[in-house]
Amino acid sequence: MDYAIILAGGLGTRTHMSKAKAMLPILGKPMIEYILDSLFKTSLKRIVCVLGKQYSDFNLPSCVDIALQKEQLGTADAVKTAMPRVNDNDGDVLILPGDAPFISSETLEELVKTHKNNNNLLTIGTIRLDSPFGYGRVVREQNRIVRIVEEKDASEEEKQIDEVYSGFVCVNTAILKNSISKIKNQNAQKEYYLTDLVEIVSNIGKVSSFEIKDSFEAKGINDLFSLSLAEQELQKRILQKHMLKGVYIENVNSVTIGPDVTFLGEATVFCGTRVLGHTTIYPEAVLGPNTEIKNSVLYDNVKVSHSVVLDSCIGKESTIGPFAHIRNNSYIGEANRIGNFVELKNTSTGYKTYASHLSYVGDTNCGSGVNFGCGTITVNYDGKRKYTTTIGNNVFIGCNSNLIAPIEIKSNSYIAAGSTIVDDLNENDFAIARSPQITKSSYAQKYNYKRVDKN
């Protein structure tokens, strides 16, 4: 059985943040999730994630084993912590840094394949850099890898080497188990370096390298500034991919598109727009300006402007905004109009239903052809529990109406403006629930309201 070990137990002191470094977001997605997504696409059978003192920051899938490193004594110590969860002496172990999120599944598969095809005991992923400062240098003798030397321990001659260690390692499981305890902390940092494994194994058998051609894939995140630069590069690549397939983006410097967003055809994205999470955009959608969409599906010809759509689906030909808020697993049917300052929460609507302005519709199942007048509210909360409103087809709800849930308004009903409805309505009912108007002639003079005379 082949294993993967992710080293995510570092404190990330250089970020100066309380959150674990591997949980810092890049385009709205934690670093560790990028690594897991790539691993899930490979043929590796088991994943062990080494966490440290900030383990409570993580929410990992149940299929990932967790090993806790009580003290941060170095990368070799972290691997040693994971070894009790690596049960077999057969196969290989792929070791990955938890702060290098951009590695692709294809590169990981190629690294493992190269390791196995060449019968290596140990294979290290390497990259070549014009400015290798800060990286461990790969030291060769007669073209044979003999060790890796860290920046702080390197001689001036060794610092000139441009081939550097990426942090990715594939090693025979039995060799790893037998060798990991031999690593010492005789270095400038007084830590147990996993890189020392290279020198130990090179005295036993074949150690080789696998060059990662795209150095960005092996880019490590050291601090918040390097995270920002890496995010910019990733964003550039994502936008380029979508634009080359027909997605028009008005201003690439003001638009954010996450790594798990899918465009299924032509679309338009205006400035100030963020599309994140597992979002799917169907053809001819128009997003923005100044719009946020996350974990949602927008079908054909949807238009969303100056609005927020979270965890919801918008049916084709519907228009959202400006200044609308759709959230909590709402499903908006086809050809709807959800307009200015309207909020929908956990609500479904049918065909051609309109809520054009200043309404709140929560926990509601609504049919087709319904008109929500301005200021309509479904009153779903009594201070303790949430209740459901059910509305049939072709219902007209007048302005400033309150529907006190739980309630059912059946099809073809009519609710007069200003009504507070507490009882169910049957089909074709007309409901009016407001106090009669009382007018007292000339009575306003009693209150002496300040008047402004125009001269």
User: For residues 399 and 359, what is the distance between their CA atoms, to the nearest angstrom?
Assistant: 9
Q: Can you tell me the distance from the alpha carbon of 70 to that of 81, in angstroms, rounded to the nearest whole number?
A: 9
Name the burial class of residue 375, with classes exposed (0-12), middle (13-18) and buried (19+) by CB atoms within 10 angstroms of its CB: middle
Cα pseudo-dihedral 294, 296, 298, 302, rounded to 10: -50
Q: Residue 320 in 3-state DSSP?
A: strand
d(CA 345, CA 297): 16
DSSP string, 104-120: -HHHHHHHHHHHHHTT-
Pairing state of beta strands 267-269 and 285-287? Answer: parallel
User: Reduced to 3 DSSP states, what percent helix, strand and coil does the chain have, rounded to the nearest 5?
Assistant: 20, 30, 45
CA-CA distance, 202 to 170, in Å (whole number)? 14
306 is catalytic: no
Determine which one of 115, 306, 325, 357 is catalytic: 357
Task: Judge contact between 20 and 52, C-beta under 8 A.
Answer: yes
- Decide if 238 contacts 252 (C-beta within 8 A): no
DSSP string, 385-433: -B--EEE-SS-EE-TT-EEESSEEE-TT-EE-TT-EE-S-B-TT-EE--
Nearest C-alpha neighbor of 314 from the set 291, 300, 332: 332
Residues tagged active-site: 357
